[in-house]
Amino acid sequence: MGLLGSAARVGLEFDTGQIRAAVVSGGANRPVLTAVGSVEIPEQAIMMGVVEEGDMVSSALRELWSKARIGGRSVVLGMSTPGMLMRSAVFPKVPDDRLAQAVHLQAGEYFPIPMNQLVMDFSVLGETETEEGSQALELLMVAARREQLQRNLDCIRDAGLSCDIIDASPLVLGRHLPAGATEETVVVADIANGLTSLVVIQEGVPRFARVLQVSLESYAEEMGTALSDVPLDGFEEGETSAGAEAWAISFADEINSSVNYFVGQNEGASVDSLYIGGRGSRVPGLSRFLVEQLEMPVQRINPVEQMADNRVKGFDPEAGGANYAVAIGLALRGLEGV
């Protein structure tokens, strides 16, 4: 089992104060949303994407499966923690049956933590040519702290579930982009309760990903309210309040910093637009503020728009679809198989 690898159809997201799940059926080319659901949990139960109170989370998972009428017991788990590491690398081209061994032998050169403390996987982004003219492979390597990952897996098992795929949450966000965006370079950010997952996608290929600690939780702190009481009045409506402006500036600065890093590492690159999802994308006036600060188009993700059908009774994708961007993306990852 790796961080990027085998098949399932239930996407599971652990967040501060909430667990979310989405079920997608059909084929990868015509996916159908068949169930979504969330359950509230005490904020201390999951912190920064890591389970802290296993019994509490396992109980909440059983409640969620019953509440949302989820039949499948195998999940695709999203990992999004400050300790998760993602690195781009160029490796000499070797036969497919030797690539995994070669990457794992050299992975220690890219991560500042001993490899016996990490679970690492990689994905081949494409081929390139070195300065010497030889062919090489562009890779994206993802590593999670073994102890943190195990805590999350243990509570899934204790809830009577299993996990076939573990994927980095930022990397599933690109599945929700409209067709035209695959010809551009875009930033996609999911603003969840506890963390923000961010990825830069160039012509449909993820090139850079990171996890930000600017989140809806930090917005609630700025507003002086509990996370569960944060007013979320809509994406376009309203103006950014004075109390929220400092948070919005911090968020814009993090986006700008990520864009500048990507451009600095890729000569001649530029970013065309920003897509945002997650509960935090519903902060009043946020899109308008980001357009002014970043001077680029900003759109909110509705992951259900890219699907063949929505069969969840009573679920309004326009109002709540953005909340499930990660969970739906994970479920779509399951449809793709290995």
pLDDT digits (tens, 9 = 90+) for 122-140: 999 999 887 777 889 999 9
Mean pLDDT, the chain, whole residue set: 91
**Max alpha carbon distance in the chain (Å)?**
59
Tell me how far apart the alpha carbons of residues 324 and 305 are, in angstroms, rounded to a whole number: 12
**Under a CB-based contact definition with an 8 Å cutoff, are residues 36 and 21 in contact?**
yes
Given a cut of 70, is residue 240 above it in pLDDT?
no
Strand partners, 85: 143
pLDDT for the residue 338:
47
Residue type at 336?
E
- The number of angstroms, rounded, from the C-alpha of 43 to the middle of its chain's C-alpha atoms is 20
The residue written with tokens 């002086």 in the block is 224
Long-range interactions of 209-212: CB distance < 8 A, separation 24+? 209/86, 209/140, 209/168, 209/170, 209/171, 210/86, 210/170, 210/258, 211/49, 211/80, 211/81, 211/82, 211/84, 211/169, 211/170, 212/251, 212/254, 212/258
CA 21 to chain centre: 13
CA distance 314 to 67: 14
Domain 10-82+148-336, architecture per CATH:
2-Layer Sandwich (3.30)
CB 172, CB 198: distance < 8 Å: no
What distance in Å separates the CA atoms of residue 294 and residue 160, rounded to the nearest whole number?
Answer: 45
For 5-20, what is the mean pLDDT? 83
pLDDT tens string 46-98: 999 999 999 999 999 999 999 999 999 999 999 999 989 999 899 989 898 99
Tokens standing for residue 169: 């949450």
Domain ranges for the chain: 10-82+148-336, 85-144
Of the ranges 86-95, 160-169, 227-236, which one carries the lowest mean pLDDT score? 227-236
Using alpha carbons, select from 98, 92, 102 the residue that is nearest to residue 134: 92
What is the value of pTM for the model shown? 0.92
| In contact, 208 and 270? CB cutoff 8 Å | no
Please determine whether the domains at 10-82+148-336 and 85-144 fall in the same fold group of CATH. Answer: no
- Backbone torsion region of residue 309, taken as left when φ is above 0, otherwise alpha when ψ lies between -120 and 50, otherwise beta: beta
Distances in Å between the alpha carbon of 184 and those of 45, 177, 203, 277, 293?
Answer: 39, 11, 5, 19, 20
The CATH number for 85-144, chosen from 3.40.50.1100, 3.30.1490.300, 3.40.50.450, 3.40.50.720, is: 3.30.1490.300
Specify the pLDDT at position 133.
74
